[in-house]
A = this chain, B = another copy of it.
Amino acid sequence: MDIEKYIKSRAAAVNAALPRFVAALRDSDPRLAGAMTYSLAAGGKRLRPVLMGASYEIFGGKASEILPAACALEMVHTYSLVHDDLPAMDDDDLRRGRPTSHKVYGEALAILAGDALLTDAFTVLLSSRYPARVKPAGLLAAARVLARRAGARGMVSGQAADLAAEGFLRGKVTPARRKAGLQLLSYIHLHKTADLITAAVEMGAALAGAPEKDFRALSAFGRDIGLCFQVADDILDVVGDKKKLGKSGSDARNKKLTYASLLGVPEARARAEALMRKALPALARARGAAGPKAALAGIAEFVYRREN
């Protein structure tokens, strides 16, 4: 399986579906709708929707049946980037190779566009039509996963801890501080990044009505590739090609705590690989179709090796 081709073709289906939901914004304030569309259309790998589709397919459905849910998750991811880039947060000027939302629309509208993307994600998720395979209980479960993983006990706590860790590297890194830093990093990565990637595979399983045991196996897989994704991201912020990344690498400027800055790049790489290797047995525990499982394994490897 050519995994990059697989991801690209699945991402294309998401990119084709997103404007359908954006079209529903026609009676919104036009500046607001413009700011939402700008950030949604900025591209990206669409990794979370692709993961959700593959996870759903393990249990017999077709990814195209749950495109609204996949787009909803991408909307939540997009909101988190818009708010994360704000001057009061990471203060980034560039995202996916284009000026960030607040650079184009101003700070106030960027805040509102993020708020609306988050809220409308629930409208898209809950108000869309699904085939009979998706039961109301599965839809409710998927919405619960999204809210839980994106909220105060999930992604937002990761962002808050990330803020608090800013400037960590301005002080001298003694062995005791290194240990505290590693603990803090685990918390940040688990919530800031892994929670939403975990939500992707969990929502796919929930929508498919997967048995509890398989849901848990996929959840563990999602957590590990989510953690791997963020370690790889930290490494890329140091050694990556800024042009390929399409962002400016604000971690070093903000003296941010990352695995790369705390342990050095080679040790961070080893950690990313260990996480990827740990994810695979969890995936193997989930029963279901072999093809989508192979796709998920391929994505795990891609997450580890990616260059942007």
User: Interface of chain A, helix or strand or loop or mixed?
Assistant: helix
For residue A31, which residues in chain B have a CB less than 8 angstroms away from its CB?
160, 164
CB distance from A113 to the nearest CB of B (A): 8
By CB atoms of chain B within 10 A, which of A111, A115, A144 has the most? A115
B107–A156 touching, CB < 8 Å: no
B163–A147 touching, CB < 8 Å: no
A160–B32 touching, CB < 8 Å: yes
Give the contact-size bracket for chain A. Answer: 35 or more
Oligomer: number of copies: 2
In chain A, residues 99-142, which have Cβ atoms closer than 8 Å to a Cβ of chain B? Answer: 106-109, 111-112, 114-120, 122-123, 126-127, 136-137, 139-140
Shortest Cβ distance from A34 into B: residue: B160
B139–A127 touching, CB < 8 Å: no
Mask, A190-205, CB within 8 Å of B = 1, is 0100000000000000
A176 contacts the other chain (Cβ, under 8 Å)? no
A27 contacts the other chain (Cβ, under 8 Å)? yes
For residue A159, which residues in chain B have a CB less than 8 angstroms away from its CB?
112
Report how far A115 CA is from B146 CA in the complex, Å: 14
B152–A116 touching, CB < 8 Å: yes
A29–B161 touching, CB < 8 Å: yes
Report how far A120 CA is from B148 CA in the complex, Å: 7
A98 contacts the other chain (Cβ, under 8 Å)? no
CB distance from A78 to the nearest CB of B (A): 13
| 14 A-B pairs in the complex with CB atoms less than 8 angstroms apart | A29-B160, A29-B161, A29-B164, A29-B191, A32-B152, A83-B112, A86-B111, A112-B156, A119-B152, A120-B152, A120-B153, A126-B140, A127-B147, A143-B143
- Give A residues with C-beta under 8 Å from B: 24-25, 27-29, 31-33, 36, 79, 83, 86, 88-89, 106-109, 111-112, 114-120, 122-123, 126-127, 136-137, 139-140, 143-144, 146-148, 150-153, 156-161, 163-164, 191
The 4 closest A-B pairs by CB, nearest first: A119-B151, A122-B147, A88-B107, A116-B152
Given A29-B156, A123-B148, 4 other A-B residues pairs in contact with their CB atoms under 8 A: A32-B152, A32-B156, A114-B115, A122-B146
